[in-house]
Amino acid sequence: MHPGGVMQTMKEPSWISELKEKLPSKLLPLLERRDGAALLLEELPKAFPPEIVASPTTEQRAWELAGLHYRNQQRFHEALSIFSGLYDHMLVAQEETGKRAHKGMPLVWMSDCYSALGFPAHAKRYLMLTLCEDAISMKGEVSPETSGVYFRLVWGHGLPDAELKRYGKKIYELSKHNPEDSLFPEWILQELDQDWIAELPAPKEAGVYFANTRYIRYLMSKMGESSGRVLERLADYILSCMPGCRTRRRQRSGSTDYDIVCSMEGFDVDFRSEFGRYFVCECKDWQRPADFTTMAKLCRVLDSTKSHFGILFSKGGVSGYGKTAHAEREQLKVFQDRGMVVVVVSEDDLKCVAKGGNFIQLLRAKYERVRLDLIHSDVSSSGVKSREAILAAVEQFDRIGRDAFLKKYGYGRAKSYFLDIDGRLYDSKAILGVAHGYEYPEKGPLKSSDFGGGKAVAEKLEELGFAVRVRS
């Protein structure tokens, strides 16, 4: 109210005016919808070709402002999805053009969103990824005046100025000698020491898992070389994306070589608390399954290091899988006899993570199956093993709509367990039953009466690397 009694209108913030000016007019109504962020995530890549957002353009700014629209409303999860989508689109531009794009802007906003959500481990990691981008652009000299990452790391996270400068020079040198790999800041971060990891993860970020799926696919495309180093790097990256997990590759003791040594920090009640302080990983980039001898050797290493837990990353899985024989039998026997849990991560599992699966959920399902000697439920006996089949069912659900989908296959609406993909919820049992038809077209989709639902369906989806939301 004006002092003279005249009502005054609030002036619209300048960033809103800019957003309305730069975002395509057909997309503006989406900002008012409750599911607008999910819809924008579909429409922005169609409206803006990858190359046009790979540099500071009007289109790049429009995408940034769309993310800020949700951030400024404190809708941080949705803002994260918008900024993550921009980051991925810039990576696509790199793939298509072979030219490096400076990706610091979406990465630093992602860090800010994680910080606002109270996820300190994620926030720091994405600031370090931003530092990788800025250090390359600035040729190793990160300016306190022109780089937003400086004050965030030095003022906000207490990283000493000398350390930031040391990292900046190291990052630039790595980029000069590895121009292809350094298109991914994740690759560079794997080459740095881990002295920057000072924050313990918050309990509420324990189950949050976000990895660069395009980087995972990049590494998977290079697997099969004789040294096995690519699989080791891939395993190291996937593990390092778990909050509180420190990883070191190619470590050596007086008697043993370790592919990856991991240490867990910060969790006391999560299932990972049973791993112990340290655990060891073995990597086998073989076409054939790892055999009994490989499993027994890893168990001896765990014994010698007094570790209770280990992971065998084996491209071909293990011998005797599904038959409780050979290597799989040894996997179960070593827990029964010595209390050690060995989890096997195969190429199919890596593909699940490369498609956006939550590695923490996948690891939990595998851990509990060994730890509790769980047998497959009737859901598992339905035979759905393909993540692609699930995604095909989801695509049909989106195409024809929920009611038509459920009516077509004879399923009722879910009450408690929902498949969660990028914030969209799907009836979990119906999706799994229809996925069976995609994986086994000769058998067709399952009817609702063919298998049980509820928690068993949720566990199956989690085993395949998907997120499940429970409603009471």
Sign of CA dihedral 208, 396, 218, 109: negative
| Rounded (to 5) percent helix, strand, coil in the chain | 55, 10, 35
Domain that holds residue 416: 380-470
Which of the pair, 22 or 444, is modelled with greater confidence?
22
Q: Do 337 and 402 fall within a single domain?
A: no
- Indicate yes or no: pTM above 0.75: yes
What would the mean pLDDT of 189-208 be, rounded to a whole number?
93
Percent of the chain with pLDDT over 70: 94
Q: Is residue 107 part of a domain?
A: no
Q: What is the DSSP letter of 6?
A: -
Using one digit for the tens of pLDDT, what is the confidence trace for 247-293?
Answer: 999 998 877 889 999 998 886 657 888 888 899 999 999 989 999 99
Which residue, chain included where needed, has tokens 């931003």? 130
390, 464 contact by CB (below 8 A): yes
Q: In the chain, how many domains are there?
A: 2
Q: Is residue 392 part of a domain?
A: yes
Last residue of a domain, one of 342, 375, 408: 375
Q: Do 226 and 368 fall within a single domain?
A: yes
Q: Do 399 and 343 fall within a single domain?
A: no
Q: Residue 7: which pLDDT band, with cuts at 50, 70 and 90?
A: low
| Gap between the Cα atoms of 91 and 186, Å rounded | 12
Q: Is residue 137 part of a domain?
A: no
Residue 410 confidence (pLDDT): 86
Residue 1 confidence (pLDDT): 47
Q: Do 300 and 360 fall within a single domain?
A: yes
Residue 375 confidence (pLDDT): 46
Q: Residue 186: which pLDDT band, with cuts at 50, 70 and 90?
A: very high
Q: Do 410 and 328 fall within a single domain?
A: no
Which of the pair, 256 or 210, is modelled with greater confidence?
210
Continuous H helices in 25-179: 36-47, 58-71, 76-97, 104-117, 120-137, 148-151, 161-177
Alpha-carbon distances, residue 186 vs 244, 314, 407 (angstroms):
17, 23, 45
Using one digit for the tens of pLDDT, what is the confidence trace for 389-444?
Answer: 999 999 999 999 999 999 888 899 998 899 999 889 999 999 999 998 888 776 77
Residue 357, domain CATH: 3.40.1350.10
Instruction: Tell which residue, 419, 375, 416, 415, has the closest CA to residue 395.
Output: 419
Using one digit for the tens of pLDDT, what is the confidence trace for 85-111?
Answer: 999 999 999 999 999 999 999 999 999
Q: Do 360 and 402 fall within a single domain?
A: no
| Gap between the Cα atoms of 259 and 236, Å rounded | 9
Rg, Å, the chain Cα set: 24
Q: What is the DSSP letter of 267?
A: -
For strands 341-345 and 417-421, give the pairing.
unpaired
Which residues does 108 contact at the CB level (< 8 Å), separation at least 6?
Answer: 126, 127, 130, 148, 149, 152
Q: Do 424 and 333 fall within a single domain?
A: no
Q: Do 312 and 409 fall within a single domain?
A: no
Which of the pair, 18 or 378, is modelled with greater confidence?
18
Residue 24 confidence (pLDDT): 96
Q: Do 356 and 221 fall within a single domain?
A: yes
Q: Is residue 182 part of a domain?
A: no
141, 174 contact by CB (below 8 A): no
